[in-house]
Structure 1
Amino acid sequence: MLIREATAADWQQIWPFFRTIVSAGETYTYPRDLDEPTARELWLLRPPGRTVVAVDDSGTVLGSAKMNPNHMGGGSHIAGGSFMVAPGHAGRGVGRALGQYALDWARAEGYRAMQFNAVVETNTRAVALWQSLGFEIMTTLPEGFQHPTKGFVGLHIMYRRL
């Protein structure tokens, strides 16, 4: 698996799994009916952000991540990130590789920490992955997310010092 900078041409492979994940409404706070142009604008970041893809030997996009300053101004020393793995490639280390890549990127860029603002508590695979990479749950916003089948569930804020 290779992780590299995402190009405009990669979007045609990202969009199908992005749309599937977002429209399911179980793990992201994006609107479930997010249109393609808006999704593309949200995901393919310009500097100082960065969007990457994980690809296999044939060039198939297995997953993608975007990394960026979590806030502006006085909060810009903390990195943020979002991650999506194509459902057919879940459980094969793609998310872990993207997560480690994001941490290495943030450290190299001089960030002091990384924070995830909205990890849905019922997304137990993601929560476990982030914890295994050294993130802590700093707090949970009770009923901060409306899950399509589980109702109102918490949103974790997760943090790791670099």
Structure 2
Amino acid sequence: MEIRDAAPDDWPRIWAFLREIVAAGETYTWPRDVDEEQARRLWLAPPPGRVVVAVDTDGTVLGSGKLVANQAGPGGHVANASFMVDPAAGGRGVGRALGAYVLDLARAEGYRAMQFNAVVATNTRAVALWRSLGFDVVGRVPEGFRHPTEGYVDLLVMHRFL
């Protein structure tokens, strides 16, 4: 697996699994019926943001991550990131590889910390992954997410210094 900056022609391959993940409504706070143009604007962060893809040896896009500042101005030293892995590539270490890569990228770009603002508490695989990469839960929004089968569940705020 190679991780590299996303190219414009990667978008259709990202959209294929991004659409599926968002429509499921289990892990992202986006509208479940997000259209392609809205998703493109939300995912493809303009500079200085960065978007990367994990690709297989045959060029298949397995997942994507984006890195942006969590806040502007005096809060701009804290990074924020989002990740999506094609469900067909689940269990292959794509999320871990993307997470580690983006943490290194954030450090190299001068960020001092990374914060995730809305990790769905029932997304236990993501919570475990982020904990294993050094993140702590620093806040909880009670019933901040309406899960399609679990009802109202908590959103976690996770943080780590770089």
Please give the TM-score of this superposition, normalised by the length of structure 1: 0.99
SS in 2 for 1:129: helix
**Length, aligned pairs only:** 162
Match of 1:111 in 2: 111
Are 1:65 and 2:65 matched, yes or no?
yes
Shift of 1:55: 0.1
SS in 1 for 2:33: coil
**Partner deviation per Cα, 1:3-32 (whole Å, 9 max, x = no partner):** 000011001101110000000000000000
Q: CA-atom RMSD, angstroms?
A: 0.5
Q: Distance in 2 between matches of 1:56 and 1:43?
A: 21
Percent of paired sites with the same residue: 66
Q: Distance in 2 between matches of 1:10 and 1:45?
A: 14
Match of 2:2 in 1: 2
Q: Distance in 2 between matches of 1:76 and 1:139?
A: 20
Match for 1:143: what amino acid? E
Please give the TM-score of this superposition, normalised by the length of structure 2: 0.99
Listed as ranges, the gaps of 5+ residues in structure 2 are: none
Shift of 1:45: 1.4
**Partner deviation per Cα, 1:24-69 (whole Å, 9 max, x = no partner):** 0000000001000010111111111000000011100000000000
Shift of 1:151: 0.4
Match of 1:131 in 2: 131
Match of 1:93 in 2: 93
SS in 1 for 2:83: strand
Runs (4+) off by over 4 Å: none
